Amino acid sequence: MAIAAALLLVRLGYLAWLCPYTLAEDEAHYWDWSLSLDWSYYSKGPGVAWLIAAMTSIFGESELGIRAGAALMGSIATIGVAGLAHATYADRRTTIATAALFNLIPFYQVSALLMTIDMPYVACWAVGSWAAMLALHKGGRRAWIALGASIAVGFLFKYTMAMIVPGILGAIIAGHLASKRTGRPTLRLDPRFGRWAAFCVLVAFTGLAPVLIWNAERDWPTVRHLLGHLGVKGGDVPTPREPWTPKWFFEFVAVQIGLIGPALALMYRAIARGETGREDSPTEDAMRARARTLAWMGLPLIGFYLLVSLINDAEGNWAIAGYVTLVPLAARLGTGRKRAGNRAGGRYPAWPACWVVGAVVAICFARLDVIAKVPLIGRAVPLGRLMQSDLRAHDVDRYASVLAEETGLEPFVIASHYGRASQLAFYMKDRPRVYCAGPHVGGRKTQFDMWASTDLSQRSVNLQLSGRPAVLVGSQQHQWERAFEHIEPIGALDGETKPDRVSFLGYAYRGFTGPRQDK
């Protein structure tokens, strides 16, 4: 609790006074959602929008207000994973080491500072896994309710929260098989656990209901979005994906190594070793069973996305929640227990490497803008997604003023990408409504196409914008030409990290009504 509270204060202080980063595209887009609260959204559940709305009501419509939820969820995740470790091993050192290791893992560090769905999802997975451990191995009745609530809330952030269920079922089956083999019970289920499990399912469905109802009323747009991620028929991807290549799998594995760091070696070693001690006793059998449950709750999600990477280009962060339950295994192995005067953990150099890598990531990520100025290595620093959104917005404001003076009409702004549209909406003067032309210029549908006020295929929107000039951000000139009488390129905006990403001035909007002229 002390570690979690201290981290929350440090992270909030950093976000308030030291953080140099402007909102990333997803952060800005989720903020856009929070301005129009709903039961669900095109690509995700409503959890992230609800959380941002709650935090900005406290901290204001600022970068701190938007990101405060990530810091809060990072501390909740720390408590959850530490509670999971304590429920598994009942050992103070392992519990504290687990809390520390979780916050040393590179991806979890960064996710606790940026407001995406990842850290809330991870927090729900950690708390849900803790509840599942108590329900299966401690006979806890209320733990079933906590498990159902964690699944319900987690599903509102990310739909793969449901993947924790196969892991729990696998742990139950493995526990029964182990009991038959040893003749000793390895699970401690409440005699009426069937009723409590059914109640857990009922509670979990409260999280599914808003998403299902919202999608059913709109012909299941989220299903088409998810199918588009998999590159299968019925998805919302308008153009064919790249031909299959085995590099997808190897890239996915490489990204996992980078996101988790040296802790991944400890996780693998702990699973391969398959034991918690050398003694053969009821106590050790029970501890081994709890350790197996840790593995079962994480590996199905990781395995699922490894399979996806064999058939499609999978994003590296999709499997990130699966590693949460493996953190206690790594911490237990890394710290070890004293035997014959030596620590077992001393044999594993990955443990001190976790601390070194964690410290380096914390220091470097805190001010990547400073690292980017270092000779030789500065160019390799990925600042494009984290910096200069405000500069681009100010440049768009300047061009909008030029259009207003030149035409005498009120200009508007259209971006080809949803993230850029939301960034501009946040950083432009007076925060105007910015439109996204994604599906009209060869991209995917987004939440902008679900809102009646921003859907550029709606007649009412086109009538409102008809004849007005616009600043056009991204895409190519020929894709804008059918929507305007005249287009003028203006090159890259100030602060644009990709020189080939140019913008345009459009005159006399007439709508994306004709056939596409993509070349």
Residue by residue, DSSP assigns 275-307 as -S-S--SHHHHHHHHHHHHHHHHHHHHHHHHHH
Same domain, 350 and 408: no
Residue 415: what are its φ and ψ, rounded to 5°?
A: -115, 155
Pick from 222, 200, 202: nearest CA to 38? 222
Same domain, 441 and 502: yes
Q: Which residue has the tokens 């914008």?
A: 465
Give the pLDDT of residue 338. 43
Same domain, 160 and 245: yes
Helix intervals (H) in 312-437: 327-335, 350-366, 368-371, 389-407, 418-427
Give the pLDDT of residue 454. 96
Give the pLDDT of residue 189. 79
For residue 216, give every residue at least 6 positions away whose Cβ sits within 8 Å of its Cβ, in sequence order, or none.
Answer: none
Same domain, 360 and 440: no
Give the pLDDT of residue 230. 66
Same domain, 316 and 412: no
Q: Which helix (H) or strand (E) holds 506?
A: strand 503-509
Residue 339: what are its φ and ψ, rounded to 5°?
A: -135, 125
Give the pLDDT of residue 241. 64
Residue 379 domain-assigned (yes or no): no
Pick from 326, 297, 324, 333: nearest CA to 174? 297
Residue 375 domain-assigned (yes or no): no
Same domain, 327 and 408: no
Number of residues written out for the chain: 519
Give the pLDDT of residue 139. 82
Residue 382 domain-assigned (yes or no): no
Pick from 393, 403, 394: nearest CA to 469? 403
Q: How many helices (H) and strands (E) does the chain have?
A: 21, 7
Q: Which helix (H) or strand (E) holds 82?
A: helix 63-89
Largest distance between two CA atoms of the chain = 86
- Give the separation between CA 317 and CA 397, rounded to whole angstroms: 34
Pick from 383, 358, 363: nearest CA to 373? 383
- Give the separation between CA 414 and CA 443, rounded to whole angstroms: 14
For residue 240, give every residue at least 6 positions away whose Cβ sits within 8 Å of its Cβ, in sequence order, or none.
Answer: none
Same domain, 136 and 35: yes
Residue 411 domain-assigned (yes or no): yes
Give the pLDDT of residue 377. 79
Same domain, 347 and 307: yes
Same domain, 63 and 115: yes
Residue 261 domain-assigned (yes or no): yes
Number of domains in the chain: 2
CB 143 within 8 A of CB 134: yes
Q: How many CB atoms lie within 10 A of CB 21?
A: 22
Going residue by residue through the chain, which has 519 residues, state the pLDDT in tens, using 9 for 90 and above: 999 999 999 999 999 999 999 999 999 999 999 999 999 999 999 999 999 999 999 999 999 999 999 999 999 999 999 999 999 999 999 999 999 999 999 999 999 999 999 999 999 999 999 999 999 998 888 899 999 999 999 999 999 999 999 999 998 888 888 777 777 777 877 777 788 889 999 999 998 999 999 999 999 998 888 877 666 666 777 655 677 788 999 999 999 999 999 999 999 999 987 654 444 555 677 788 899 999 999 999 999 999 999 988 889 999 999 999 999 999 999 987 544 344 444 568 999 999 999 999 999 999 999 988 888 777 778 787 899 999 999 999 999 999 999 999 999 999 999 999 999 999 999 999 999 999 999 888 999 999 999 999 999 999 999 999 999 999 999 999 999 999 999 999 998 887 788 999 999 999 997 544 443
Give the pLDDT of residue 25. 96
CB 129 within 8 A of CB 324: yes
Same domain, 347 and 402: no
Q: Which domain holds residue 246?
A: 2-269+283-366
Give the pLDDT of residue 195. 86
Per the structure block, which two tokens stand in for 133?
């451990």
Per the structure block, which two tokens stand in for 379?
């160019």
Residue 377 domain-assigned (yes or no): no
Same domain, 99 and 242: yes
Q: Burial level of 74, CB count in 10 A (0-12/13-18/19+)? A: buried
User: Do strands 435-436 and 342-343 pair parallel, antiparallel, or not at all (unpaired)?
Assistant: unpaired
- Give the separation between CA 363 and CA 184, rounded to whole angstroms: 49
Per the structure block, which two tokens stand in for 360?
């380096």
The residue out of 366, 397, 421 marking a domain boundary is: 366
